[in-house]
Homo-oligomer: A and B are copies of this chain.
């Protein structure tokens, strides 16, 4: 679990964003927003999509609505006010709040109503996209609610700037992904399969305490397939391997990309990879407070093309990352959001050519007052295996 200072700091940031948006109450149902607001990450909400859960953040209080099955873990997490719904029996000889959670309220909507009661008459309420239509309607129907407005952006704005404890978790997640790729490449050789390498990546991440989330490993023509799942295809001499790997530490994600060749790379592999690295390094060179996200994108595309890979067509060359793998802003056209100290970005310049192969390099940085600092510390060159 994150330290108490970081948890309080996140809640303060969210509350400030709420006030800046002239809102009196936030009702958030997206698990990442619930975590950010309350400090609580529900296992059930993670593994059973659609498990309803909500954090209600007002000017001076926070209330969590979650299944009764979460009651003991919520109590331990020190969330404070908690309204459980549904049936789950915790026995107890001595009084314990979780022992009284079962059957308190029958449904999520019942519990949400009770949670809303506690806030009295609120004027403007912000809701995120994680709340179902029925829950939004229930909020809108409350006496005293003047307006219900979409507030996903409010939450993303708060979450965009990371606190020290968040950067620490992101750094550990990034290091774990790097360690996974490195272990796989050290163990790799002719005849290894995509699945075998993916297993090495994932088991290394898991052994380090991270939760593996995605492990894309593609060889040869499959390296061009984007987010394709690993297969039993074997790695043959001269072929590319593209890695795109992510895991989670304390809810914070990583997303790291690297490319390798089995044996000596040919001229085209070297030249193209050099162009992609030039693009990513150009991004690293300009990423700083005040620079707009779309400027970083433009710099990346120009640098790749200037280095000889033309045309270089991309919809984005990076994204912010945190409690979700893609946050906002995105490093893409149309995102004129200026970067701010504390934002954490994945910068990437992938290239996919069907029939030939795919390559990528992707690193993570935190924006600092003077520019940026890498959270990934890991050779950025084209990896050469078994030559």
Contact between B227 and A354, CB atoms less than 8 A apart: no
**Chain A 10-27 near chain B by CB (<8 Å), digits 1 or 0:** 000000000000000000
- Decide if A43 touches B354 in the complex (CB within 8 Å): no
Interface residues of A in 92-149 (CB under 8 A from B): 92-94, 96, 98-99, 102, 129, 133
> At the interface, yes or no: A160 with Cβ under 8 Å from chain B?
no
B contact residues around A352 at 8 Å (CB): 72, 89-91
**29 pairs, A vs B, C-beta closer than 8 Å:** A31-B49, A43-B227, A43-B229, A46-B214, A47-B213, A47-B246, A48-B325, A48-B326, A49-B49, A69-B226, A71-B226, A72-B225, A72-B226, A72-B228, A86-B315, A89-B313, A89-B314, A90-B353, A91-B352, A92-B354, A93-B355, A94-B354, A102-B315, A199-B208, A200-B207, A203-B203, A203-B207, A205-B206, A211-B212
Count of chain copies: 2
Cα–Cα distance between A216 and B211 once the two chains are bound (Å): 12
Q: How far is the CB of A179 from chain B (nearest CB, A)?
A: 12
Residue of B nearest to A232 (CB): B1
Complex CA distance for A137 and B270, rounded to whole angstroms = 51
> Which of A208-242 touch B at CB < 8 Å?
208-209, 211-214, 216, 222, 224-229, 231
| A355 interface neighbour in B30, B50, B94, B224, Cβ under 8 Å | B94
A202-B213 in contact given A48-B325, A94-B355 (Cβ < 8 Å)? no
In the bound complex, how far is the Cα of B326 from the Cα of A50, in angstroms? 12
Instruction: Tell me the bound Cα distance from A209 to B42 in angstroms.
Output: 26
Q: Are B354 and A91 in contact (CB under 8 A)?
A: yes
* B residues in contact with A315, CB < 8 Å: 86-89, 102
Q: Please, what's the 1-or-0 string for A64-98, where 1 marks a CB less than 8 Å from any CB in chain B?
A: 00000111110010000000001111111110101
A99 CB to nearest chain B CB (Å) = 6
Nearest-neighbour CB distance to chain B for A148, whole angstroms, equals 15
For A325, give the chain B residue with the smallest CB separation: B47
Complex Cα gap A90–B315 (Å): 11
Determine if A324 is an interface residue (Cβ-Cβ < 8 Å). yes
Complex Cα distance, B352 from A102, in Å, reads 13
| Alpha-carbon distance between A76 and B229 when the two chains are bound, in angstroms | 11
- Nearest residue (CB) in B for A248 is B47
- Asked whether A252 is an interface residue with its Cβ less than 8 Å from the other chain, the reply is no
Which residues in B have their C-beta under 8 angstroms from that of A204?
203
Contacts of A89 in B (CB 8 A): 313-315, 352
A195 within 8 A of B: yes
